[in-house]
Structures are given as C-alpha cells and as structure tokens.
Structure 1
C-alpha cells in the first residue's frame, strides 16, 4: 500500500471524520464568542477583542476554560487537517471538488486554521496576552518598511476584499447547501440551517471586506496604524457613526448565526 493510498484511507476513516466534525464545532464556538463580543461593541460596551485570539483568551478566563480550550485547539487542528485532506484528495460534496480552484481554497483554509490552532496551543502553553490586532499592525509596519511593502499590503487587502465579496455571493446564493448530506437532515431543520448559512456567511463576508478595506486604506495612506484586523474593523465601523453601530449590530447577529450554522455542519456536513 502506497503512502498516498494510506493517507486517503485515513482521511476517509470514521475517526478522522469525527475529528473534522469536532473542528466544525470548535469553529462555531469561536464565532459565537466573536459575535457576542460584537453585539456588546454595538451596544457601546468595551468587550474583549472581537477576533479569534480574543475569543480564545476569553475562554481561558472562566472555570474549566483550559479544558475547553484544549478541546477547541484539537478541534481546530482537526478542521485544518480536514481542509488539507480536501486539498489533497478533492472537496467532498462539490461536483468540481477535484478541480484546482476548490482544492486551492481548501489549502488556504487549512493553512489559516492551522495558524489558529497553533495560536490556541500557544495560548495554552504560555498564556500570552498580546492581541491579534496588535500583531497585525506590527506585521503591516514591518512589511511597509520595504520598498514594495506598501504594494504588497494593498494587494493583500484587495484579495481579502475579493474573498469577502465571494463569501457574500456564496451566502446569498446558498452555495453551501451542496455540502450537506440531505438524507441525514430532518426536513424541518433544513430551512433553519439554510437561513443560518445565508445570513451567517453573508455577514462573515462583510467583515472580511471591511478588514480588506482598512488594509488597502493603510497602504494608500502609507499609515500602518490604519491596518485593521477583525476587531479593529468592527471598532472603527462603530466609531464612524450611529449607522456604523447599527451595521456592526447586524453583522454581530450574523456572526452568531454563522456560529450556529457551524454546529449544523458538524452534525450533517459530508466529510
């Protein structure tokens, strides 16, 4: 048996599928926390950072938090491995899953969530409190010190905007429906899941687009302090106007919807 055949067999095993489902649930938990922080932000409160690291830090603060963080860290690892398996063997449930585009998208998602998993394990090991937003601003500063750095930051921002718009499109068109094992879903649950997926994915896309916009703006103005991660994008939107606070409130509810949708993925998505 070749290494490729063994890897494919592992990726199709029940244990691996269970780990992937844990990963979807872990992602859902993080988005529920981020969404709740964004709700508080829209209400004029000062919540923890509304990003992945802020959510993980909040978990640690509570009784039993380290145990839950261990579960989330393992789940994020499982999610990343699931995406890497899709990149290697094709995207499950997608008729075009063996084509280059979907597989590259899964590879990108795998790398992103591997980074989040490393962050979670790092937080468990060191309990460092350095913010994700601060890390992004420092990274942007270092990049823009180079001659082509300003262009690179602008290009990254433009790519993030495109990703955000693509998520909005996928949400509105309900492209996610093809990934579900409909035979396993109770008929009454489908309408709720479709609503959560539409609203949640669209809201997530809006947040990505806002983050990309602030990166492009930082490059355009040659001002790294204007580079915003998820937390900074939401806080800046709230600060701009009352309309901005309303927008963040709607997006916050959407992120909570996406978190609940991730639990539906954990239950009924094809893996």
Structure 2
C-alpha cells in the first residue's frame, strides 16, 4: 500500500473518530455545562439588578454557587470534564471539518480552532477551581482583566495589542448578536427542534440569549479599547463589572435585569442545543 493510500486511510479513520458517538456525547454534555454556567451568571446578574450585589456575576461567582450545593465538588468536576469534551469536539471540527455543507471551509475551521482554545481555557479554569487552586476559575474576572491588560501594555506595542484585542472582542459581540437576531442557529439544529411550541421556545431563548450575550461581549471589548486609548489598565473590565455597567445607564437596573434574563435564556438555549444540535 502506497504512502498516499495510507495517508488517505489515516484521515478517514481520524474523521470517523471525530464523528463517533463518544465525540457526539462529549459535545452535547459540553453544551449542558455551558448552559449551567450562563444560567447561573444570569441569575447572579439579576440579583445585582434587584439590589443584592454580594456575589460576582461571572464564571467565578457561578462556580462558587455550584460549590455551595450538595455534592458541589463532584458537580464542579463534571462541569470541567464536560467543557473539556466541548473543547475536544471543537478541535475535531478544526482538524476534520464541521457538520454541514460548508464545514470544511478554512474560515469555519479557524472559528472552530478559536472556540477550542476558548473552551480549553474555560475547562482548565473550572477544573482548577474544583481542585482547590486559586487559579483563573476562582478569581475575580475584573481583577484578571486589569492584570492581563496591565501585563499586555508592558509589551512592545502593548497599547496597540490591547486596543486591537478589545476591538476584536467588540466586533465578535456584535457578530454574535447579529447572527442571533437573524436566527442563523437554525441551520445547526435538527428540523424537529424548529416546529410548533418547541420551535417558538428555541427562538425566544436563542434570539434573546444571543443578543444579550453579544451585548456583553461588545461592551466588554469597548472597555478594553478605552483602556488602551487612555493607557489605563484599570479601565478594562471583566464580566462582572461589565454587567454592573449596564445599571449605570439611564435605563438603570432595568437594563441590567433585561441583560440578566437574556443570559439565563442563553443558558436554556444551550440546553436545547445539547438535545437538538447537529453534531
């Protein structure tokens, strides 16, 4: 058997592995874990809007809520492992292509690679929290943002790096919100998820959740750009401070409450994706 045939056979075997039931299960449990985190962040943000600002509305606050529950430590490990499964699924998409007619396009693979990096980091932070480490999972997202921004600005051209990074995050947020408003997620869902009352529920949570999530990322990126322009790392904000900033607008706590409900809706939408997403 020639080298070309062996290479082709190896690629086919790898592709079959990426399409396996185990990989599908990893992806679906990953969506469940993502849903839990967003649902909890939404609830924490709603508490802040209602005047109870004791707990931070970010990943660290959500993990603290999970840890406080019965068997919380086991739940943390389950969340971290599920998110690792999500990361592996995104990596398989980057390597072998995603589901759908355009899943093999370089742009799609690049997006999958970026998502792999993101979910790998989130998984690591959750597992670090579960292991009791004072790492990225347990710390304040606001303190982390300021620290990362300050370190980045110390690099050659650091001000530009922070500004470009913030702009990229802001544009990503607008892209997320726009795709949600246009219901672009329909092409990723099985047909039965879009029928009748189920379809209405999916659209309500998908649109509201995606717009809220996109708005948070857009404002988060905006703060990073402002920090770069003013050369003040302390102006960079994490998820918690970004959410609280919505309450400082003329709309007051009502806008924060609306965003909080949207984030919780995105958590519910993630559960729908866990059940009906084309893997």
Q: Would you say the 8 A contact 2:181–2:211 is kept in 1?
A: yes
**1:190 pairs with 196, 199, 221, which one?**
199
The aligned residue for residue 120 of structure 1 is 126
Equivalent residue number for residue 167 of structure 1: 176
- 8 Å CA contact 1:32–1:255 kept in 2: the answer is yes
Gap runs ≥5 in structure 1: none
1:142 aligned residue: 151
The alpha-carbon deviation at position 174 of structure 1 amounts to: 0.2
Most deviating of 132-141 and 27-36? 132-141
Where does residue 3 of structure 2 map in the other structure?
Answer: none
Matches within 5 A, 1:62-101: 62-93=69-100, 95-101=101-107
| TM-score normalised to structure 2 length | 0.91
Q: Are 1:227 and 2:233 matched, yes or no?
A: no
- 1:57 paired residue number: 64
For residues 3 and 119 of structure 1, the distance between their equivalents in structure 2, rounded to whole angstroms, comes to 33
Quote the RMSD (CA, aligned, Å). Answer: 1.6
Per-residue Cα deviation, 1:191-238 (whole angstroms, up to 9, x for no partner): 111121111111100000010010011111111011012112112332
Please say if 1:213 is aligned against 2:219: no
Offset of 1:74 from its aligned partner?
A: 1.1
| 2:136 is the alignment partner of 1:130 | no
Please report how far the alpha carbon of residue 84 of structure 1 lies from its aligned counterpart in structure 2 after TM superposition.
1.1
Q: TM-score, normalization: structure 1?
A: 0.94
Instruction: Flag structure 2 segments of 5+ consecutive residues without an equivalent.
Output: 1-5
Change (3 A) 1:181 1:154: same
Q: Aligned partners of 1:92, 1:244: CA distance in 2, in Å?
A: 42
1:58 positional shift: 2.1
How many aligned residue pairs are there?
A: 269
Partner residue of 1:255?
263
Q: Which moved more, 1:82-91 or 1:31-40?
A: 82-91
| Larger gyration radius, structure 1 or structure 2 | 2
- Rounded Cα–Cα distance in structure 2 between residues aligned with 1:150 and 1:20: 37
